[in-house]
Structure formats: structure tokens, C-alpha cells
Amino acid sequence: MSLHCLKSLGASVLAYAVLSLPTASAAPGFADQVLSVSVTDATGRSGVLIIPRSAAVYDGIAQTLQYTLPSPAAILDSFSGGVIATVTSATAYARMYPPRVTLDIVVEAGAYESYLTIAGPWVGFPVISADVGRMNAYAGFTVRDLNWNGARLASLGLPGSGVFRANVDGLAPDGFQLTQLVNQLIVSADGTVSGWQNDPPQGTRSVFRVASDASVLMAFSLTAGDRATCSGRLSLFGREFPKGDSNCDGRINGFDIDAFVVAMLSPDTFEIIYPNCETDTSDCNADGIVNNFDVDPFISFVSGTGPAFPGPLP
């Protein structure tokens, strides 16, 4: 089959896929909540801010979910209605593959010391095996004293536990906590202090287990009237993709056609456009070379007639 025919097939499949892209409310692979901020203060007042998945922007082609808080949001005590904390800004992002979850949020404590648990988005993805799974994580926090009496941000939980927690396969103890970063920050009157950590310091490290979902969590106390600017990132790598999944997104469909053509015509360009993917996913006849002899088996995979077609993800 010629490249012209291949591109013609691609156009028809792509047109169908774009017409049938789901909205954020039905985004597969993402949890119902994109952001949750739970607060209890030193007097026992408590409240929660929940942002549903339907409020986020879903990109069905890139398989990403993104949410930006449009304006500051007060968190109110569930009984009295009084303000116990304020979320000044927030951005949450999740990508199915390569799996990535990010959370950036600015919070201000109310009149009393606040204890906050902030859950970012959750994303499920095609399984990454324990022998090839890799990860890296970043956490950065800045504390600003707003009332001239000093400020302190400290992790909640066991002594030495991190403010930022990265998880796979759910939260501990049922799931696995990959890393904990940043313990506490203390600043003098009218001061600002920042702290950050990377795990590992450079590159990636092994996940040491099968991974099929990822999420991030922040848990900390913040002194009354002060501000915390918080950022966290978790990225995973290492999925082994089937033949035909040319763009390495975990699915074989019309969105693989352009990647297949680039892999066949210009491997160097492929590495630039798809830095987390290998051209061997386009070697559909498994002869060690990506060329025109791969076109027919590739089309059989995309059309669902190939023997290695994996079917839809749950």
C-alpha cells in the first residue's frame, strides 16, 4: 500500500476520532476530582474545596486534563460559614502517557493555624512493568510571613515525612508512596523562605514495582495568616509498547499514523517530535527496520484486524 493510501486512511480515521472525542466529564483514565483541598484549623473548624473533573479542560488527542482556578476561593467552615483558609490560585495537570501529574497552588491560612491536605489529579495509564519502570519527582515550597510574627510550614504525619507525596497504585498503605519531599520551612518576621527537592537529584530512578496509576498529595500545617506557594511534579517512564502504537500513548488508533510516517521517513525527526518513544514500535513486521514493508501490518493494527491489537483500555 502506498503512503498516499496510508495518509488517506489516516484522514478518515482522524476525522472520526476528533468527532467522537469525550468531554472532561467523561474523560477516561482520570478520577472524578481534579483537585481537593481539605482544611482543619487549630480551633477545630473544617471545610473542603472540591473541583470536579467536569470543570477541567480535557484534550482527547493528547490525553491530558488541565484545570486552572479562575479566581481566589475561600474555604468555609462547614458549620459556621467562616473563612478558615483561602486558595489564591491553583493549576492541576495530568497526562496519561508518558504519565505525568503536576500541581501548583497558593494557599493562605485564616485567623488560626491551618492543617491542609491537598490532593491533585489522579491518572490511570497502561501498565508499566517493575523491571523497566522509572520515575522522577520535584517539590518546591515558598512560605511568606504576612503578619510580622514569623511563619512556619511543616509536614503532617510521622516526623520526617514529606510535605509532598508522590504515589502509584493509590495511597499508602494499599498503594505505594514513591517519594516524600521537603520536611519544613521556617521564616522570621516579614520574611520569605523557599525550599525544594528532586528525587532523584538528576535523571530518573527505578519504580521497583508494577505501576498503573499516579497521583500527588500535599499535607502540611501553615501558621495563621501566612501564605504558602506550593509546586509538585511526578513523571513516570518505561512502558513497553506494542507494535503499531507509533506515538507511544498506550493505544493503537488513527493518532499513530503521523508518527508512523515520520518514523519511516525521518528517524532523526521522530526523536525530536516524540522524545519519549522509540521507532521500533513502528517496526510492525519485526524485521528490525522501519520501511514500506511495515505499512500493511501497521494498517492491520490500526484497523483492529492485526493479531497484536490490544483493544480499548478499561
Is pLDDT of 11 > 60?
A: no
Nearest-angstrom CA–CA distance, 95 and 220: 26
Q: What are phi and psi of 78, to 5 degrees?
A: -65, -15
Looking at mean pLDDT, say which of 43-47, 159-163, 174-178, 298-302 comes out highest: 43-47
What average pLDDT does this structure show over 238-262? Answer: 84
Predicted confidence (pLDDT) per residue in 68-90, tens digit: 999 999 999 999 999 999 999 99
- CB-CB contact of 263 with 284 (8 Å): no
101: cell is 501529574
Q: How far is CA 108 from CA 139, 205, 223, in A?
A: 19, 34, 9
- CB-CB contact of 261 with 3 (8 Å): yes
Nearest-angstrom CA–CA distance, 143 and 79: 29
Residue 1: the pLDDT is 45
Encode 21-48 in three state secondary structure: CCCHHHCCCECCEEEEEEEEECCCCEEE
Q: Which residues pair with 232 in a beta bridge?
A: 103, 139
- Write down how long the chain is: 314
Q: Could you tell me the pLDDT band of residue 96, with boundaries at 50, 70 and 90?
A: confident
Nearest CA to 194 among 164, 148, 230?
Answer: 230
Nearest-angstrom CA–CA distance, 55 and 61: 18
Say whether pTM exceeds 0.85.
Answer: no
Q: What are phi and psi of 108, to 5 degrees?
A: -125, 130
Question: What domains can be seen in the chain, in order of their start residue?
Answer: 3-21+241-302 (1.10.1330), 31-237 (no CATH)
Q: Which residues pair with 52 in a beta bridge?
A: 33
Predicted confidence (pLDDT) per residue in 276-285, tens digit: 788 888 999 8
Which carries the bigger pLDDT value, residue 62 or residue 88? 88
